[in-house]
Chains A and B, each alone.
Chain A
């Protein structure tokens, strides 16, 4: 078992494309670290550099405090599971699992024992003499795992190992891998573009974008306090809502105003003394609202909040995903759509251009409102508001939940 340290790792491909820049990360012994990000963010490149399949352009890679930059893949003592499993199609499951032992000149009897032990662990004993072509997707995935496990590697590298499985199987294999990792107490680095996988499996998560680390933290840390808009948007399902509006602070209380009379009371938040946000100010910010933190009530209830109209409902049985439109001056019968957020003044960010006057809300239980009905949206009691600077897209620090 081993720790892995990446210091200022960079990767520039021959065609000049910069895939990874200044990547710093320490993975502790026995940790399950997930690299997550949209496709093309460089996460696979990082993994392939750790594996030794890709040259490291700059920086240092340490495994167990030994420099590994120029060491061949096999001496790094890592094992890798590929997205397409990369099983040897002409070999039986037994030979697939056995090959690495054979290449290390392990005596035949030990090899046999080890292969059978691994097969038993993964429930592959019955299919040992079959070829990959005769196996189901889930079995192939397990053979790929077996091929990795059998060598007792110090680090497991998994490159989107679940993306070729159907949804049900994926959840099952996800649990299997988590259990396996606990049982072997091995260091695992797992690459995925699926934040659900990342959240459910990881000890810690690295969120990447454009070859750079955005944030490293436990699933909870990323969910509770994302450092920037990108992480906030990426983590959580359905994704966080973003609205642009006026943040008014006064002493240590604060209020968020969308436009005339449409205010969201942030009564369960306060400003830390002496922090960036303290003092009496008024400035334009982006607020992030988690779909599961929003509450829908009828207009007649008198609860203050943002007025909106139900646009569509996706019932999921125990809960429902509701899309609502925000309208300006609903009271006066003026149903003109509220002014579109002007994305032009916000760094041309892709994300900001998606800002709409629409919210997605996750409600528990049966949803009692109808499409087209007027409603009021407020924050529920466990809500934390996520406030971001429009210019830098970084989270505004110093705002905490009232204790």
Chain B
């Protein structure tokens, strides 16, 4: 074999390919292991959710709970001491209004930073980006004091109003980046066609931003839907409490937590956001690709 240089080259090529395949195998194995680790808690949640109440820790453990208790699905809403249906309604209001506020004001702010010229624009944008570094807990107390002063504690408004003032700097940043990726000539063409800034935003730019808005909206929905800390801080009476609070109080505050029902309620709470994500999955990915963030 050693007499022909061609076969030697072929040989070394083969070696490289073999090595590459091996490397890929190792990488896949690693990723699968990570996946399993990520999925384990979810599996356990589902396992517990379908266990018969009181039978959660049966020995020996089984892969699938035995017996599978489908009844849990029906029992959950009426099992605890608190009106979960009312909480569900509050969660919808909180998530809906806060997300809407975020999307509207973040589009506006993103547009201003991307397209309008005004003094101090770069400074303001710098401050906005710097806010990304500010942890929630730093502003938590001052914010509480502020809303306390204006008498809004124990209402849903402190949870919603901030999100009608831009909400997260991340969203503003994302919208700005996306608007920057749209050629400015399109705005100029619209300007010559007779459109003002407002019209350019709503009829030219926003319709092109649907994937980004979907991505951003999904993130916001997931955040508000799962938010426990915010409602804990501001809401005291039953009237406005949200689902995460309800679930916690229903089961965890008990001396005898019923883990099967606890987990079933958590599982049911996951349904709306998971459905939303599955339905919008493709647009969600598109959104991140378009905005030039992630998706590598």
Contact = CB atoms under 8 A, between A and B. Distances in A.
B189 A147 contact: yes
A90 B208 contact: yes
B192 A88 contact: no
Contacts of A80: 188-189, 192
Interface string A79-104: 11011101111110000000110011
Interface string B169-185: 00000000000000101
Contact of A51 (B186, B192, B199, B207): B192
B193 A100 contact: yes
B194 A86 contact: no
Interface residues on B, range: 10 to 19
B53 to A, nearest CB: 53
A322 B195 CA distance: 54
A257 interface: no
A117 B188 CA distance: 25
A74 interface: yes
Most buried by A among B188, B190, B208: B188
A53 interface: yes
B192 A78 contact: yes
B188 A53 contact: yes
A103 B192 contact: no
A38 interface: no
Nearest to B193: A100
B188 A88 contact: no
B22 to A, nearest CB: 43
Contacts of B143: none
Given A89-B208, A90-B207, A90-B208, A73 B192 contact: yes
Interface in B187-227: 188-195, 199, 203-204, 207-208
B208 A74 contact: no
A52 B208 CA distance: 25
A79 B194 CA distance: 10
B89 to A, nearest CB: 35
Contacts of B204: 88
Contacts of A51: 188, 192
B186 A74 contact: no
B186 A86 contact: yes
A99 B193 contact: yes
Contacts of B193: 74, 99-100, 103, 147, 151
Nearest to A72: B191
Contacts of B208: 89-90
Contact of A100 (B185, B194, B203): B194
A103 B194 contact: yes
A86 B186 CA distance: 5
Contacts of B203: 99
25 contacts: A51-B188, A51-B192, A52-B192, A73-B191, A73-B192, A74-B191, A80-B192, A82-B188, A83-B185, A84-B183, A84-B185, A86-B185, A86-B186, A86-B188, A86-B189, A87-B186, A89-B208, A90-B207, A90-B208, A99-B190, A99-B193, A99-B203, A103-B199, A104-B194, A147-B193
Interface of A: 51-53, 73-74, 78-80, 82-84, 86-91, 99-100, 103-104, 147, 151
Given A53-B188, A90-B208, A103-B199, 9 more contacts: A74-B191, A74-B193, A74-B194, A79-B192, A82-B188, A86-B188, A86-B189, A87-B186, A88-B190
